[in-house]
Amino acid sequence: MNTLAKVMLVFFILIVSSCTVVGCSFYSTYNDLVTQEESIAAQYKQNQNNYDNMWKKFKEAAQVNTMYTDDLKKVFDSAISARYGKDGSQAAMQWLKEHNPNFDSAMYQKLQAMIEGGRNSFENNQKMLIDKKQMYQAEIRRFPTVVIAAILGFPKIDLTKMDIVTSGETEKAFETKKADEVKLR
């Protein structure tokens, strides 16, 4: 084999090797970015699932509290009616020791605990979504991924559609840079 043939063979091997390395790099980067995008989309769906589940629990628990209040009112009404008759007591003076049913606040405490637990769980899911988006956005901006991502057309998902859920109060506070105290009543 002459010298020119050897040089061309070495040059060919270098080109094939370079193409293989670049191809593997594209393949690996593509798979990593697809995995990250799917992870973000899945986390966003999990946030929706968590939020939906949380609100259903709140509404169902509040219905139990309403039922309890309605039933307690019926018990009070029937106790008073049974004690004093249909038209109430007609006596000018009565010496009675009243003993009415107690109103148990445990259900309200349970509802409050449920709200707090649901909010904490939802906050954790929101944090996970923020972390996944941050990692993905940093990855597609790093070299050489930024070049490969641009060639392959990443991002392929609209990340703005997968933002966290927030309230009007929070948006207003961040726009105005002012937050007032929370008024409970």
Please state the domain count of the chain: 1
Position 174 in a domain: no
2 torsion bin: left (phi>0), alpha (psi -120 to 50), beta (else):
beta
Position 167 in a domain: no
Position 34 in a domain: yes
> What does the pLDDT look like over 60-119, one tens digit per residue?
877 777 787 787 788 777 777 766 667 666 666 666 666 666 767 787 788 888 888 888
3-state secondary structure of 185: coil
Confirm whether pTM is higher than 0.85.
no
Position 28 in a domain: yes
Judge whether residue 166 has pLDDT over 90: no
Position 121 in a domain: yes
Position 33 in a domain: yes
Position 171 in a domain: no
Q: Is the preceding peptide bond at 144 cis, omega within 30 degrees of 0?
A: yes
> Average pLDDT of 122-131?
92
Angle at 110 between CA 57 and CA 44, to 5 degrees: 35
Closest CA to 38 of 139, 132, 146, 165: 132
Structural domain boundaries, residue 118: 24-82+103-162
Position 97 in a domain: no
Letter for the amino acid at 173? A
- 19 token code pair: 């193409």
User: Which of 107-111, 118-122, 135-139 bottoms out in mean pLDDT, i.e. has the lowest?
Assistant: 107-111
Query: What pLDDT, on a 0 to 100 scale, did the predictor assign at position 95?
Result: 67
d(CA 50, CA 52): 6
> What does the pLDDT look like over 14-55, one tens digit per residue?
999 999 999 999 899 999 999 999 999 999 999 888 888 888
First CA to last CA distance, the chain: 94
